[in-house]
Amino acid sequence: MKSSSYQRDARIDWQAFAPDNIPTKEKWPFLETFLDRFPPLNAPGRRRTVLDLGCGLGRISRVLFEKGYNVTGIDINQAAIAEAKNKGSAGSPSHFRHFALANSAADPLPYLNDAPFDLIVGQLVISIIGDLRDRRQLLANAFQWLRPGGWLYLSASGVSDEINSNYARLYAQDEPLTGEPYSYFSRDSDGNILYKTHHFQSDELQVLLQTAGFNQITVNTVKEQSSRRPDQAAYFFYATCQRPIE
């Protein structure tokens, strides 16, 4: 990663983002399949626990709750958390918290009082969390918050210039600003920068997960519609991995 003369703080971008415009997907077939096969930890007499990292309006959190999990959803966007709480069903054991992931590695691990979790889900978060240090720190946090033997499910955007020339143009245009290949700025219709997105190369996510200490790593690549441009194709990675049983 080269140093960039154009510094932008991803936390400020996401704190200010209009909650109803937070990018999401309508369906999560990989997550559904993973949950159907999710190897149960030995949890007699208690609901299994899941953390929804960067939960936005809590759509996935609610599906997880309906599937029988005790859910904690965290997000840096206070307005999104307020909406997620409002949409929650009465008596639901879902907890939504305003919480910032990926603090600098120099800081102590942020304290999350519901940890440890049996499962952590991070849908469309590792691509937009900031730079490489933030991605590493997200995974370090997730590792520490998982129970030994617990699983992490992540979705991430993939490098898509071969199937979509718009991405080739964006990568070339913004690399001098982001300082990183395959990173670009998502912009609104007036051209104002909204946030930075990083698209992963095929081995990149695998190596990050390995380096963070996970094993049993599986990364599936799928060609889909882009989350913000549904008329355009993009690659996505769906990764699952386990915190080793100590």
Ligand X SMILES: C[S@@+](CC[C@H](N)C(=O)[O-])C[C@H]1O[C@@H](n2cnc3c(N)ncnc32)[C@H](O)[C@@H]1O
Binding site for ligand X (CB under 6 A): 10-11, 14, 17, 22-24, 54-56, 59-60, 74-77, 80, 100-102, 123-125, 128-129
Find the helix or strand (DSSP H, E) in which 195 lies. Answer: strand 193-198
Find the helix or strand (DSSP H, E) in which 49 lies. Answer: strand 49-53
**Closer to ligand X by Cβ: residue 81 or 209:** 81
**Closer to ligand X by Cβ: residue 44 or 106:** 106
Dist. CA 63–CA 69, nearest whole Å: 9
Residue with tokens 């990018």: 23
Dist. CA 183–CA 232, nearest whole Å: 18
Least Å distance between CB 54 and ligand X? 3
In this structure, the strands spanning 193-198 and 215-225 are unpaired
Least Å distance between CB 76 and ligand X? 4
**Closer to ligand X by Cβ: residue 75 or 204:** 75
Least Å distance between CB 61 and ligand X? 9
166 contacts: CB under 8 Å, gap ≥ 6: 229, 232
**Closer to ligand X by Cβ: residue 54 or 150:** 54
Beta-bridged to residue 239, according to DSSP, are 154, 219
Residue nearest to ligand X (CB): 54
Least Å distance between CB 92 and ligand X? 18
DSSP-derived 3-state class of residue 31: helix
Please say whether the beta carbons of 76 and 99 come within 8 A.
yes
**Closer to ligand X by Cβ: residue 84 or 219:** 84
**Closer to ligand X by Cβ: residue 41 or 224:** 224
- Check residue 182 and give left, alpha or beta (phi > 0: left; psi -120 to 50: alpha): left
Least Å distance between CB 244 and ligand X? 25
Q: Which two structure tokens, joined as six digits, stand for 18?
A: 């209009």
Please say whether the beta carbons of 185 and 178 come within 8 A.
yes
Least Å distance between CB 228 and ligand X? 9
